[in-house]
Chain A
């Protein structure tokens, strides 16, 4: 959902500051005070505290806290599941970029090329529906769809004669993470399609008309008008999608909780497993720190991208 906000920043040139001396300086801070306290207290402070926790070893039962320096980070470097989880996050990012950025872009271009506004609205709405539904619902739904006994997928495969592909999708170490990612694409592509559709609507129609008169076919128009004129959007969607991929938690938690044999762990669920199942808050906080650094990197990429386009927040 964040993507809309970020995009807003892109296209907006900064307004010059108008001097308005009629209100006193300091008392004006009250306008920001509630937000600053709330965000400072519940968003920033915990993240700072997380770094402190990550240098400790805590026994949740006795409440004992031991300072262990960077030991948790050292352990993290030698934890094969962290590597696997990181790889799964990367897979998530790559596949999501393919489907939810490029796939959604194409789909939006196809839809916006339709004549009737009513049909355009209908397609957009249909594809969007899964995005409106809670991830727990879709996660549980796909848990059932992938289920060997009652699932739609295996039943459909054997109906169409592909029974050699019938398998417990979430129970197989090689397919679990892909099955989860596939669900995530199903749920998410409609949202990005909608965003691209809105971006495409902003392109002046006469550009297309002129190109058509010059004899450009639909593919040509797509390539030389739609694509370049939504490039900012595409760039930002890529960054937003990647950021999202490193924060994935819900769908994995609901569908496999990281199993079987940790094959579908992502950083978020591994953090949960370590901190809340294995009682190791310090180590969990160290994993959280990794997530923080990764999302900061993508965040910085986003800032750099918007700066480069000479626009500011």
Chain B
């Protein structure tokens, strides 16, 4: 008797859970469509011509021609990509090295006033770039850095060092100290310990930090918009708005340019997803 009741209940439960599962899955699929479809639309519109874009937005391209992509690439995107790569790579190297250096000082040396230094460095996390923008315009001009790559490299580094230091410091705190203590016994200097022992041990977090920084620098807009003018020093995000302004109504080329600038970062994300998530997981702590 009791067995049949139990069986009935569990069948009941199964029906409901099947419905619930179906609903959940359809919800997840719908959401995925909402997320992905606009991006696919963007890439497809890059293959259309203007008449088609103004015609039916849902239609597939008639001719699959790379023409717009080639045109976008040759009319500016190539230059913007070069600048973006340069600024991103340079600022990523500076940021990660300076941060690792600082994190080492904060975790492995007998630095005076550590809490104060930590407060100053990490306090930078709370300060927003918008607030600093007006004085920075004048300062960079006085330094002769306005409209140079250096302006962006320095600012991206300065504003990202707090965050990156935070991540690396947290990782270093967890590293065993026996190794560098042993190295100290053997007469290694602090510098040698940093370069030869600690830095290599931090490789995973450093990769994560580089990826997080690349995501930031590749996409940054405010500084790039204010501190650069002229297409030879403009990064992709700013260059895209210039393309939009200068190509007036040639929307297909604009769509192609947008797709070209989105693609590398999506590829980087999928290729390095593991490190990226590890970086975030490290950040969250155990």
Contact = CB atoms under 8 A, between A and B. Distances in A.
Are A and B in direct contact (Cβ within 8 Å)?
A: yes
Given A35-B98, A50-B131, A152-B57, A132 B215 contact: yes
A113 to B, nearest CB: 8
B121 A198 contact: no
B39 interface: yes
A38 B266 contact: no
A199 B56 CA distance: 44
Given A4-B284, A39-B120, A150-B57, A132 B269 contact: yes
Interface stretch (A20-28, A74-82, A165-173): A20-28
Contacts of A162: none
Interface string B245-257: 0000001001100
A105 interface: no
Contact of A247 (B128, B273, B277): B128
Contacts of A195: 280, 284
A245 to B, nearest CB: 12
Task: Give the interface SS of chain A, mostly helix, strand, loop or mixed.
Answer: helix
B82 to A, nearest CB: 16
Contact of A28 (B42, B112, B165): B112
Nearest to A6: B125
Nearest to B109: A28
Contacts of A32: 102, 105-106, 111, 117, 121
Contact of B57 (A43, A155, A291): A155
Contacts of B57: 150-152, 155
B127 interface: yes
A127 to B, nearest CB: 6
A299 B154 CA distance: 25
Given A22-B184, A39-B124, A140-B240, A50 B173 contact: no
Interface string A232-244: 0100000000010
Nearest to A274: B134
Contacts of A110: 24, 27-28
B101 A50 contact: no
A35 B36 contact: no
Interface string A117-142: 00001010111111011111100111
Nearest to A19: B110
Given A7-B283, A32-B111, A285-B134, A40 B261 contact: no
B166 A126 contact: no
Interface size class of B (residues with CB under 8 A): 35 or more
Given A141-B42, A268-B130, A46 B139 contact: yes
A307 B270 CA distance: 36
B285 A247 contact: no
A10 interface: yes
Contacts of A121: 273
Given A31-B104, A38-B161, A152 B41 contact: yes
A134 B121 contact: no
Contacts of B20: 218
Contact of A5 (B54, B102, B163, B240): B163
Interface in B126-170: 126-136, 139, 154-155, 157-159, 161-163, 165-167, 170
Interface in B86-120: 98-99, 101-102, 104-106, 109-112, 114, 117-118, 120
6 contacts: A28-B109, A42-B139, A45-B139, A151-B57, A247-B128, A250-B221
